Amino acid sequence: MDSTLFSIGHGNKSIEEFIEELRSFDIAYLVDVRTSPYSKWNPQFNQSALQNALTNLGVRYIYMGDVLGGLPNDSSCYTNGRIDYTKMARKEAFQLGLERLIVANQKKIRLAVMCSESEPEMCHRSKLIGQELIKRNISLQHIVEINRAVSQIDVINILTKGNGIMNLFGEEETLMSRKIYL
């Protein structure tokens, strides 16, 4: 599962720490997958501020939260108020966005998808994007600190306490958001 695709969450990091983490993995493109590319608590990660900081670093910023974001406007993507990542993964817009990541990986482009959640097991980066990539034999590598990343499989094992995502009948469990939105 050779991959040049990474994920990163900004959390409460300083912009300097965030940039050092990107540098430590030679990231050339940052793909912002936040549905709303702004942070009330960490304005250094607002779209324009982040884009400026990355430009100075030589990293290209791409916004794809409209197709790969974790909070869809489409009510059909929700089950009992929670975001149902299986339903999201079937959407044409999501599939087109995912295809762009797959092509980047085929071209050996080093890119990181970014969201606000610093713990990958709590974010749609792993529950949705990472799971869909693993089905295509691409393991998203989740940056957790400078020079340290964990694989998609390790993140799912953390999330499921080592039980994987299969239910008793050998079917894949549906991964959903931890919060209720509707």
Q: 64: helix, coil or strand?
A: coil
Query: Strand order in 148-151's β-sheet?
Result: 60-63, 29-32, 111-115, 5-9, 141-145, 148-151
Pure H helices in 75-174: 85-89, 92-106, 124, 131-134, 152-159
Task: Give the pLDDT confidence of 79-131 residue by residue, as tens digits.
Answer: 999 899 999 999 999 999 999 999 999 999 999 999 999 999 999 999 999 99
Q: Are 177 and 82 in contact (CB under 8 A)?
A: yes
Contact call for residues 156 and 131 (beta carbons, < 8 A): yes
- What was the pLDDT predicted at 160? 80
Alpha-carbon separation of residue 154 from 104, 131, 172, 178 (angstroms): 23, 12, 17, 19
| Segments in the chain forming alpha helices (H) | 15-24, 47-57, 65-68, 85-89, 92-106, 124, 131-134, 152-159
Q: Does the reported pTM lie above 0.95?
A: no
pLDDT < 50 positions in the chain: 166-171
Residue 161 confidence (pLDDT): 72
111 in Cβ contact with 4 (< 8 Å) = yes
Tokens 């900004």 sit at which residue?
Answer: 10
